Amino acid sequence: MRVVVTGGAGFIGSHLTDRLLREGHEVAVVDDLSSGRREQVSDQARFYQLDVSSEWVTRVIARERPEVVFHLAAQIDVRHSVADPLHDAQVNVMGTVQLLRAVVGAGGARLVFVSSGGAVYGDTDEVPTPETHPLRPASPYGAAKVAGEAYLSAFAGSFGLETAVLRPGNVYGPRQDPHGEAGVIAIFTAALLAGKSPVINGDGLQTRDYVFVEDVADAAMRLLTGPLGEYNVGTGRATSVVELTEELSRAVAETRPGREASPLPAPVHGPAKEGEQRRSCLDCSLARSQLGWSAGVTLPEGLRRTVAFFAELEPGYL
């Protein structure tokens, strides 16, 4: 199939692009490289460096004539969305609308939108949280994702566009950016490998549903032809930041030569982040029943694979 992946130089997008290419699909990647890395895009994929909210995306879609578009290009930092909600909306709302217009103008394609399984729900009354739970975003980032989903629904109703939504939990794995504010596992891994103490916000009892990046790519692949809908993508298991740090420290310790190595630095606690969700865990039974999907990588195994990736990087990367 002919496929376009927006954000295909990024963390999740590059894994999805690799999977598509391995299975013989023809892939074009759109990414402005504001956070993605050009070296993460296979030479087998055509690459367009541009902002998805620009008019140029219309020309790319018209040229590529994709059968399926995976939309992952986004501003992903919740705290940045609070500091600069206009920029967040420009990328995450207007970029989505621009892409939808481009797809309609090119004659249509199935569009799969990667939303958020935490930010769109906010703190919920039901954990694990099903797709039927009311959407109560507590950040501009979450609000933009909800708006993106609403625009997909509107374009499906107005133009007959085939649309689907994935709502992943906290995605982690190789290639995640260890810098900035997003991606606690990558950030903590980089700190531990550098001999520094990871900083836990607040008491560390806040929980998340951590899902390995290759499992998310697998869920996306099933929407090439699978039934349309809105699907949570997670493990259904809530893990606190304290538990995560303990498991991650074990994974890092296993990579070090010799058991006589000095102990890893203990985590330290910083102030709690205002407005941070307390609990997030996803009910993924719909993806299991409709797509035949479930997470295949356990947290201990995923952490080992993530640590191994970062441990082999050039020192300057971290």
Domain assignment present for residue 153? The answer is yes
Q: What is the DSSP letter of 264?
A: P
The mean pLDDT value of the chain amounts to 94
| Number of independent structural domains in the chain | 1
Cα–Cα distance measured from residue 64 to residue 6, given in angstroms and rounded to the nearest whole number? 13
Active site includes 48? no
Cα–Cα distance measured from residue 295 to residue 194, given in angstroms and rounded to the nearest whole number? 30
Q: Beta strands of 17-158 (E only): which ranges?
A: 26-30, 46-48, 68-71, 110-114
* Cα distances (Å, whole numbers) of residue 229 to 100, 114, 152, 225, 252: 17, 12, 11, 12, 38
pLDDT at 318 over 70: no
Give the pLDDT confidence score for residue 168 in this predicted structure: 98
Cα–Cα distance measured from residue 134 to residue 284, given in angstroms and rounded to the nearest whole number? 16
Residue 211: pLDDT band by 50, 70, 90 thresholds?
Answer: very high
* Cα distances (Å, whole numbers) of residue 237 to 30, 93, 211, 213: 33, 30, 9, 16
pLDDT tens readout for residues 74-128: 999 888 899 999 999 999 999 999 999 999 999 999 999 999 999 999 989 899 9
Domain membership of residue 83 as a residue range: 2-172+213-234+282-296
Domain assignment present for residue 271? The answer is no
Domain assignment present for residue 195? The answer is no
Domain assignment present for residue 50? The answer is yes
Q: What is the DSSP letter of 35?
A: S
The CATH number of the domain holding residue 85 is 3.40.50.720
Neighbours of 108 (CB within 10 A): 15
pTM confidence score: 0.95
Neighbours of 271 (CB within 10 A): 8
Q: Tokens for 11?
A: 């963390």
SS (H, E, C) 3-33: EEEECCCCHHHHHHHHHHHHCCCEEEEECCC
Q: What percent of the chain has a predicted confidence (pLDDT) above 70? A: 96
Domain assignment present for residue 140? The answer is yes
Cα–Cα distance measured from residue 179 to residue 153, given in angstroms and rounded to the nearest whole number? 34
Q: What is the DSSP letter of 153?
A: H
Cα–Cα distance measured from residue 139 to residue 122, given in angstroms and rounded to the nearest whole number? 8
Q: What is the DSSP letter of 206?
A: -
Cα–Cα distance measured from residue 66 to residue 2, given in angstroms and rounded to the nearest whole number? 5
Q: Tokens for 153?
A: 């629904």
Active-site pick, 121, 141, 151, 210: 141
- Going by their DSSP bridges, the two strands 239-240 and 207-208 should be labelled as antiparallel
Domain assignment present for residue 315? The answer is no
Q: Average of pLDDT values for 204-213? A: 96
Report which of residues 252 and 317 the model is more confident about: 252
